Amino acid sequence: MTTAVAIIGSGNIGTDLMIKVKRLSETLRVVAMAGIDPDSDGLARARRLGVATTHEGVDGLVRLPEFADVELVFDATSAAAHARNDAVVRDRGRLVVDLTPAAIGPYVVPVVNLGEHLHATNVNMVTCGGQATVPMVAAVSRVAPVAYAEIVASIASRSAGPGTRANIDEFTQTTARAIEAIGGAERGKAIIVLNPADPPLIMRDTVYCLVADEVDEPAVRRSVEAMVADVQDYVGGYRLKQDVQFDPVDEPYVPALGRGFRGTRITIMLEVAGAGHYLPEYAGNLDIMTSAALRTAERLIAERTGVPA
């Protein structure tokens, strides 16, 4: 027995998510996809796969006969559009997994805090950078208190579509808040770089953590490696690029903290390659979002049905 789900957004993220659900999920089935471009490749692919479609957005979605069976809706549109999409869908009693940086519902990174929000009706998948880096901040935080964490997400310019580009401000703000709220850092900052290199480069992420206390380096390494393995359970292309680095810091003034700092800077370098279900390998930033959203939806439905994900 599978649970019917729908997707709002027929762009790269929505289309990749549809294919992932069809190929990988044993508990979910996509029955409808809504977009706003009648000629989009996503809607065309959905029709070929037997999925009901509409190019009239959320209003068209709720008019589809298939919507009557839908239990959960993924929103793969934009932060600006999500508020109304969420209101329309939740007013009709459906769960929402939000892949935009709108942050209406609680932030969720599956390996860190999904268990705390299994009864939420709207969950927010933060951002691609957040899904990649917050687990690393959390891995350090469970060993030593993190005074400040900064992440730099570098993605191929080609993998940043109109929605991603429209949400740059929300990306940095939402990711920084998640670094604090989920990762456990006292202060957080996020930077995104759209790399125009050709051929495109695979997503790279660098995580910096400032730890004031004496650092148990082997414990930090074990924690980071264990977290990487947990993420790899649903994002196969997630990996460390090199060993975790530890450098002493003794600065009279650190602008991000507004004070001096003495301790250790921990540097973690990551690479995220896509699975190639719909998007190219270099688009790991999109792949990690759809993979995390799928894992989250399966757990939410399992909580409500009692059927293991």
Cα of 13 vs its chain's centroid, Å: 11
Instruction: Tell me how far apart the alpha carbons of residues 91 and 107 are, in angstroms, rounded to a whole number.
Output: 21
**Distances in whole angstroms, Cα of residue 245 to Cα of each of 137, 220, 291:** 14, 10, 28
At residue 74, what is the residue type? F
**Distances in whole angstroms, Cα of residue 197 to Cα of each of 44, 154, 159, 194, 258:** 30, 11, 12, 9, 36
Question: 201: helix, coil or strand?
Answer: coil
Beta pairing class for 259-272 and 238-240: antiparallel
Set 62, 128, 215, 228: catalytic member:
128
Beta pairing class for 259-272 and 245-254: antiparallel
Q: Which residues contact 123 (CB under 8 A, 6 or more apart)?
A: 96, 97, 98, 105, 106, 108, 117, 296, 300
Residues in the chain: 309
Report the binding-site residues for NAD(+).
Answer: 10-13, 159-167, 285
Q: Is 209 an active-site residue? A: no
Cβ pair 213, 270 in contact under 8 A: no
Task: Dig out the tokens for 273 from the structure.
Answer: 């390659």
| Residues forming the active site | 128
